[in-house]
Chain A
Amino acid sequence: QQPVQSPQAVILREGEDAVINCSSSKALYSVHWYRQKHGEAPVFLMILLKGGEQKGHEKISASFNEKKQQSSLYLTASQLSYSGTYFCGTRRGFGNEKLTFGTGTRLTIIP
């Protein structure tokens, strides 16, 4: 079953913060975050492995709550270049296990 993301869409002014959530009904091994611009392939942002880790860099980070089967992506002091559709992808195992994409969150940053 497809992971559910919230919100579906959000509009921010440049410099504001955003949180995008990803929730799965199944136990997860890893969560992957991608950003996709219109007409392009998804661009990898980061992976979180089970263990409740949080990672990222200064302005884009994420957390993974393995017990709740949820992950959140944090965008701080958003820039115009952050606009796009964000997808989480979940895997239930390692190696050749398939990646299932979430429903997506469309983020629009305005000046």
Chain B
Amino acid sequence: GAVVSQHPSRVICKSGTSVKIECRSLDFQATTMFWYRQFPKQSLMLMATSNEGSKATYEQGVEKDKFLINHASLTLSTLTVTSAHPEDSSFYICSAPTGGSTDEQFFGPGTRLTVL
């Protein structure tokens, strides 16, 4: 199946700093990628839809100025958490649909962000 990678897998940072998370589709092109956030013992919540060549679409309640998304190419989307605070500590996961007949979405391995 298709492969989606994320980097870094874990990051610890101080409050007030910015953190960039990369999501790459390794063997297929993705015009769209999705960014999810998951707090402990909760479900995955969609934060935004990343669109290659255009602005990201944010879900209600997600601050677009805080969570900057850039879909630089057909295989790379980045999520930057700006001025991170402890409440931003979470598990961030990206996914990408392959667009094939199976309608499947492939998920990255996730990034664990801890803000001190």
Contacts and interface: CB of A to CB of B under 8 A. Distances in A.
What is the interface residue range for chain B against chain A?
20 to 34
B103 A30 contact: yes
Contacts of A99: 34, 46, 95, 105
A98 interface: yes
A24 to B, nearest CB: 14
A66 B1 CA distance: 27
Given A30-B103, A44-B104, A96 B43 contact: no
B67 interface: no
Q: Interface residues of A: mostly helix, strand, loop or mixed?
A: loop
A87 B44 contact: yes
Contacts, number: 53
Contact of A41 (B31, B99, B110): B110
Contacts of A89: 105
Contacts of A94: 103
Interface residues of A, number: 24
The 3 closest A-B pairs by CB, nearest first: A96-B32, A41-B110, A101-B44
Interface of A: 2, 29-30, 32, 39-42, 44, 47, 49, 87, 89, 91, 94-96, 98-104
Contact of A47 (B44, B104, B109, B112): B104
6 contacts: A41-B109, A87-B44, A96-B49, A100-B46, A102-B43, A104-B42
A104 B38 CA distance: 12
B45 interface: yes
Nearest to A42: B107
A30 B45 CA distance: 18
